[in-house]
């Protein structure tokens, strides 16, 4: 029996897909798999990520192929999957999560504390840009696009002094490069960072059963809390929110940070919940953020981004 899966053709997406296939083959040795590379809007639009409508730019075309039965399932980075997933689809599996930390990559192995004043640091993420500026306002933060290798090459070719990106990306790719780990408490990651989402049709019970064999229970719980938080405040790449959930025995801890565009205002919340109801914990913090003025921060972001997009 041959199973067809869809994914982006980027090196990272293919590496993630290869890892998933290795896991699936270990639990389903009689199956064979065929990879269908699908181009998405996020692959063809060269504008900075913050200049685009973010929902689905890296997964919409692939999920359409799943829904229309061109492929059986799809492998995504969890943070690329919008909370309002089509009702015909389901996140059938969340495999074991990679590191949620961000890293700073420089030629000299600088940490964020030691990189010289005036250095230019690139990032594709508004969240990271604000977090960098909050900690080191003396650095120049520059928007940067391209796959991970392209961004790293800009550092090695000395076109930029450093870049900040997710550690999970270089781990999945097996990239050996000098990097400094950033604290996940100071640099709260994007909701779902480090996790994979395997999508299939909601009514495809056989595929769901196959995929569930490589599910990691704790990773699923953590991601559900973070995605619930995003859903309740409608966050995304155009509205930077940091969130990290962690399972500790029977408890679930969710830390969340929201930042103004200039980095001067922030709302930081940490709450405990139970592993039995991660959605409720995300919703609870979402409501707390609303009561503490997150709507005003979000509105300021939208107004400024609309100005930039008109230029």
d(CA 4, CA 130): 40
| 232 in Cβ contact with 279 (< 8 Å) | no
Contacts of 305 (CB under 8 A, 6+ apart): 50, 51, 238
Cα(280)–Cα(80) distance, rounded to whole angstroms?
22
Bridge partners, 102 (sequence order)? 166
Residue 14 contacts residue 7 (beta carbons within 8 Å):
yes
Locate 151 and state its tokens. Answer: 């961004």
DSSP SS3 for 247: strand
Q: Which two tokens stand for residue 268?
A: 């930081």
Contact between 285 and 254 (Cβ < 8 Å):
yes
Q: Which of 72, 80, 102, 161 is catalytic?
A: 80
For 13, the 3-state DSSP assignment is helix
Helix H or strand E segment including 253? strand 251-259
43 is known as an active-site residue: no
- The sign of the torsion formed by the CA atoms of 281, 287, 293, 299 equals positive
The residue assigned the tokens 């929201």 is: 258
Beta carbons of 214 and 23 less than 8 angstroms apart: yes
| Closest by CA position to 294, among listed 268, 270, 255, 262 | 268
Residues in the chain: 311
Q: Is 272 helix (H, G, I), strand (E, B) or coil?
A: strand
Smallest CA-to-CA distance from 94 within 75, 108, 110 is with 75
- List, by residue number, the catalytic residues: 80
């Amino acid at each position: 029996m041959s199973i067809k899966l869809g994914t982006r053709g980027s090196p990272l997406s293919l590496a993630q897909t290869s890892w998933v296939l290795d896991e699936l083959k270990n639990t389903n040795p009689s199956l064979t798999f065929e990879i269908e590379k699908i181009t998405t809007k996020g692959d063809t639009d060269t504008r900075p990520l913050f200049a685009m409508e973010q929902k689905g730019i890296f997964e919409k075309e692939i999920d359409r192929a799943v829904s229309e039965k061109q492929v059986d399932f799809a492998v995504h980075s969890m943070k690329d999957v919008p909370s309002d997933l089509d009702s015909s689809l389901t996140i059938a599996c969340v495999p074991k999560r990679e590191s949620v930390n961000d890293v700073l990559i420089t030629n000299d192995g600088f940490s964020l504390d030691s990189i010289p004043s005036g250095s230019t640091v690139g990032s594709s993420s508004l969240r990271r840009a604000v977090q960098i500026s909050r900690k080191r306002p003396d650095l120049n933060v520059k928007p940067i696009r391209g796959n991970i290798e392209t961004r790293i090459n800009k550092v090695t070719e000395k076109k930029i002094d450093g870049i900040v990106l997710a550690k999970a990306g270089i781990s999945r790719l097996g990239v050996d490069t000098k990097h400094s780990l950033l604290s996940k408490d100071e640099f709260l990651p994007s909701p779902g960072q480090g996790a994979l989402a395997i999508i299939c049709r909601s009514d495809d019970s056989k595929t769901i059963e196959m995929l569930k064999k490589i599910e990691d229970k704790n990773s699923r719980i953590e991601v559900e809390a973070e995605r619930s938080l995003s859903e309740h405040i409608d966050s995304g790449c155009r509205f930077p929110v940091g969130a990290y959930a962690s399972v500790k025995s029977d408890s679930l801890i969710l830390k969340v940070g929201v930042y103004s565009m200039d980095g001067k205002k922030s709302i930081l919340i940490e709450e405990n919940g139970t592993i039995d109801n991660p959605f409720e914990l995300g919703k609870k913090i979402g409501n707390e953020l609303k009561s503490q003025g997150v709507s005003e921060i979000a509105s300021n972001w939208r107004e400024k981004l609309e100005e930039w997009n008109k230029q």
